[in-house]
Structure 1
Amino acid sequence: MSIFERAAEAVSFLTQKLPHDFPRPRVAIVCGSGLGGLADTIQDEPRAEFDYATIPHFSQSTVAGHAGKLVFGLLGPIPAVLMLGRLHYYEGHAIDQVTFPVRVFKLLGVDTIVLTNAAGGLNPDYAVGDIVLLNDHLFMAGLAGAHPLRGPNAAEFGVRFPPLSDAYDLELRQHTHQAWKTVVALGTTRKLHEGVYAFVAGPSYETRAESRMLRMLGADVVGMSTVPELVVARHCGIRVLALSLVTNNVVLTPVPRGDEERLQGKGAGELSAILEAGKAGHEEVLQAGRAAAVDMQKLVVQALLNVFDHA
């Protein structure tokens, strides 16, 4: 069964379960780690939820902080579908399964997708809790062959060789900057940046040397999601807005040498503390996500209202 046929089967299941007059979504939002609170932006009525396990050909998320369901409803006046918990390559899913929901969104009628994620900050100007509007990426795994479009082209969705030089929609980014000034900037010390996202497969966090390499190549943030979904969205002709929440500052300083003078006479506990300074952890990611959730929600909602007001 082709990927188009599988996506069509999933869409058929969803549309049969939804009331016949339920609005078809125009926007899809993929909620990253700790950002599931975006579901609170959907109105209570009309509203429908589906666990991934019930949807044909959907894989299930296994990551803490990811609910694993689709939520359909209205975001203000905008018909939307939210993906609460994305699928990751590191969970063991094939990369075309990671991106399968995007195919489903296309066949549901979605023309704009918002991709959110938790990411480590490589740029020293970024602080924990800042939000980064993505304008480009480094897809190291894709360059090496772990690419969601590898194999026979799904011509029902798009062309064999889709360009990505225009991947991050400029108009959507304009509206997001305007939204930031309107609903967020005056009430927070949090900053909105624009930057480049580096995709790594995970699930281990990057070493210091790997982090310095990514920074030297031009990356501002690093994470384990978003880019495969973006590639497939652009293959399908879906406009993309992508946002990273900086949940930790990545350690860029080299590992201390074992013969450094400053280490002499220190015990095992002190040495461990030196080595572990700045080490990232998943709970830290979730905590930063919870703290920034309200600002991220305001920004996404207002940006989309701006976009559809001008449509």
Structure 2
Amino acid sequence: MENSEILNQIVKKEFNLPAQLISQDAITNAYYNYEKIEEITKWISERVTIRPKIGIICGSGLGEIANLVQNKEEIQYADIPEFPRSTVHGHKGVFVFGHLSNEPVVCMQGRFHPYEGYSTALCTLPVKVFKLLGVKLAIITNAAGGLNPNFSIGDLMVIKDHFSLPILSLQHPLVGHNDERFGPRFVPITNIYDKKLRQILHDCGKELNLDLREGVYGTISGPSYETVTDSLFYLRNGADCVGMSTSHEATVACYCGIKVVAFSIITDKVAIEYDAEDGSDHNEIVKIAKLKAKDAEKLVSNFIQKLNQNLLE
């Protein structure tokens, strides 16, 4: 059955309204309900022996973080029934289970973005799978464009908060029916990026001689990069960098009761002056991210080593 037919049936059954009047997030959450995600999780669990406590989402060019994992067990997204597929260069589309710094982890080598045609609810489906796998902490990474004029290309920025126009404009991953088995209808996200975990990340940075920045991550939907006016709007409203992911994943992780820590690699300087000649280039962004990947790998590994065990309970 075609996806459009499935969606039309869901709309008719759940909402009794024309499909064009219903948010794609609401439709997605109606179809990928608790039982459906439980089926997906069961399928995955039957094929791996690792029961992860930590879930790591690898951003563009940062998939090599998974190379640190020992006792690897891999599952291709394409093999998982009713699971989305990665379509972006630099995102392999693989779950890597194993141990990192002696902790059981699962790495996502490839995430999903709304610009690929997925609703934000479908983009965050793996986070709900994390919850049912038993994950207690999500480490989220991304490549981002620098807005803050004090930032340089190659900087690592610990995320203390986010600002997402897509989420504020009703592209929210939790729109639609809520199942309390995942989380509450109204979830507070004031302290979404855990302060204690951010401090541990900074401590690790000092040990590794990495000058970590801290700031606010701004989210756009993509796939086009920002206009100068877009960038100035985000900068003037508190964002230090901008990208096309993370905020919806962190929101759903918080909703699911999963602790969150996140950081960005600043891979380019976003234009904040009109008639700027240079623009962002995806290939260059992936190239810069790969150049800084070793620093990111060391940071993640050291961070997991330093985790106080009660933070994972």
TM over 0.5: yes
Separation in 2, partners of 1:233, 1:299: 21
Give the equivalent residue in structure 2 for 1:219. Answer: 239
Q: How is 1:22-41 mapped onto 2 (pairs within 5 angstroms)? A: 22-41=49-68
Is 1:276 paired with 2:277?
Answer: yes
Q: SS state of the match for residue 261, structure 2? A: strand
Give the partner amino acid of 1:234. Answer: C
- Provide the aligned C-alpha RMSD in A: 1.2
Q: Deviations over 1:71-122 (max 9, x none)?
A: 0000021000000010001000122110000000000000000000000000
Give the partner amino acid of 1:155. Answer: E
Q: SS state of the match for residue 292, structure 2? A: helix
Tell me how far 1:200 sits from its aligned partner. 0.4
Give the partner amino acid of 2:247. Answer: V
Residues 30, 83 of structure 1: 8 Å contact kept: yes
Give the equivalent residue in structure 1 for 2:162. Answer: 137
Give the equivalent residue in structure 1 for 2:42. Answer: 12
Alignment length (residue pairs): 281
Q: SS state of the match for residue 276, structure 1? A: coil
Separation in 1, partners of 2:105, 2:250: 18
Residues 184, 298 of structure 1: 8 Å contact kept: no
Is 1:111 paired with 2:136?
Answer: yes
Give the equivalent residue in structure 1 for 2:252. Answer: 232
- From 218, 232, 240, give the equivalent of 1:198: 218
Tell me how far 1:2 sits from its aligned partner. 4.6
* Structure 1 residue ranges without an equivalent (≥5): 186-190, 256-274
Identity %: 42
Tell me how far 1:276 sits from its aligned partner. 2.2
Give the equivalent residue in structure 2 for 1:155. Answer: 180
Residues 95, 108 of structure 2: 8 Å contact kept: yes
Separation in 1, partners of 2:105, 2:294: 19
Tell me how far 1:137 sits from its aligned partner. 0.8
Residues 6, 57 of structure 1: 8 Å contact kept: no
Give the equivalent residue in structure 2 for 1:91. Answer: 116
Tell me how far 1:307 sits from its aligned partner. 1.1
Residues 157, 212 of structure 2: 8 Å contact kept: yes
Separation in 2, partners of 1:308, 1:72: 21
Tell me how far 1:6 sits from its aligned partner. 1.7
Separation in 1, partners of 2:205, 2:95: 27
Give the equivalent residue in structure 2 for 1:301. Answer: 301
Tell me how far 1:7 sits from its aligned partner. 1.3
Residues 144, 265 of structure 2: 8 Å contact kept: yes
Q: 1:36 to 1:184 in 2, by over 3 A?
A: farther
Q: Deviations over 1:45-95 (max 9, x none)?
A: 2x2101101112210010001100100000021000000010001000122
Q: SS state of the match for residue 268, structure 2? A: strand
Q: Deviations over 1:22-41 (max 9, x none)?
A: 23100000000000110111
Tell me how far 1:3 sits from its aligned partner. 2.1
Give the partner amino acid of 1:94. Answer: S
Give the equivalent residue in structure 1 for 2:287. Answer: 287
Give the partner amino acid of 2:38. Answer: A
Separation in 1, partners of 2:262, 2:84: 23
Is the deviation greater in 164-173 or in 299-308? 299-308
Separation in 2, partners of 1:145, 1:122: 25
Tell me how far 1:154 sits from its aligned partner. 2.1
Give the partner amino acid of 1:236. Answer: C
Tell me how far 1:308 sits from its aligned partner. 3.9
